[in-house]
């Protein structure tokens, strides 16, 4: 009987998840249609000349041209390779330092104060420092991305581990759980909702910082395409690169980080508080 109830509950969750996914896709398509209609309406109103505000059709033609000559594919691959490497480094550093902040309380208090201030520091403000100290290369971009996003993961790790209910820890210790098992099997799972939320926020910071760094450092990537378009007044190229940047950012957030966060929230029964 209990097995049947669990199976039924699992099927209900799956159906709700599918309905939510379809609703999300539908909402995105409606929003896209409204955006394109508004874009075309503004173009038809001729507030600006076509070379400053092109139509959706001419922008689509530019997209096909950039794709045909390979510029868009090369830039996208370079940018995705950078974000994969840079964000992996950010995750390792942020999680590692966050754990040290918990276990070394004095270090945690000091880093907590610094992190709150540095987390609000503009990401592009790190670019001149990176250019002077490191140079116009991938290591300089890595520096900018990490410094722009690592503090979010540090703070979410620090806060999540510190806010684990003490009853969990006491119960585990009473059952003879060692320090390593206590950390890996009790504290980390209990802090997971906070960790995932911090990772999702850090991804947003890292993506913004990467595109800005590519622009200012003249790197071959989507940021570089955006910068070249603005330098040579090729507004179609600017819009195409902006759309691709937005699409990748949205896809990564919705298909990876959002689903990961929702799965964690469902596991911990937190979604009953959300709308």
Average pLDDT, the chain: 82
pLDDT digits (tens, 9 = 90+) for 55-105: 899 999 999 999 999 889 999 999 999 999 999 999 999 999 988 888 888
Helices 235-252, 222-231: axis angle to 10 degrees equals: 160
Count of beta carbons in the 10 Å neighbourhood of residue 132: 9
What's the confidence (pLDDT) of residue 274? Answer: 45
What's the confidence (pLDDT) of residue 273? Answer: 45
Residue 120 pLDDT level (bands cut at 50, 70, 90): confident
State pTM to two decimals: 0.81
8: left (phi over 0), alpha (psi -120 to 50) or beta: alpha
What's the confidence (pLDDT) of residue 13? Answer: 59
Q: What is the dihedral of CA 252, 95, 127, 71, to 10 degrees?
A: -30
Check whether 134 has a pLDDT greater than 80. yes
């Amino acid at each position: 009987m209990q097995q049947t109830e669990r199976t039924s509950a699992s099927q209900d969750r799956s159906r709700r998840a599918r309905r939510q996914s379809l609703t999300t896709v539908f909402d995105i398509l409606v929003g896209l249609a409204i955006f394109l209609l508004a874009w075309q309406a503004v173009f038809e109103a001729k507030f600006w000349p076509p070379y400053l505000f092109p139509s959706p059709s001419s922008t689509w033609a530019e997209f096909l041209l950039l794709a045909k000559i390979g510029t868009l594919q090369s830039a996208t691959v370079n940018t995705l390779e950078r974000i994969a490497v840079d964000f992996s480094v950010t995750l390792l550093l942020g999680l590692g330092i966050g754990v040290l902040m918990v276990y070394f309380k004095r270090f945690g208090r000091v880093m907590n104060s610094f992190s709150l201030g540095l987390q609000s520091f503009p990401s592009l403000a790190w670019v001149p420092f990176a250019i002077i100290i490191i140079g116009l290369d991938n290591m300089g971009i890595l520096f900018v991305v990490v410094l722009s996003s690592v503090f979010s993961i540090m703070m979410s790790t620090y806060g999540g581990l510190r806010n684990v209910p003490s009853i969990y820890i006491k119960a585990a210790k009473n059952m003879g759980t060692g320090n390593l098992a206590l950390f890996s099997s009790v504290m980390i799972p209990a802090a997971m909702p906070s960790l995932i939320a911090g990772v999702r926020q850090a991804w947003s910071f890292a993506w913004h910082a990467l595109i800005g760094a590519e622009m200012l450092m003249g790197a071959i990537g989507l940021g570089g395409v955006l910068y070249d378009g603005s330098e040579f007044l090729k507004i179609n190229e600017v819009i195409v690169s902006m759309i691709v940047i937005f699409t990748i950012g949205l896809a990564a957030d919705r298909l990876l980080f959002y689903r990961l966060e929702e799965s964690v929230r469902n596991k911990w029964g937190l979604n009953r508080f959300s709308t």
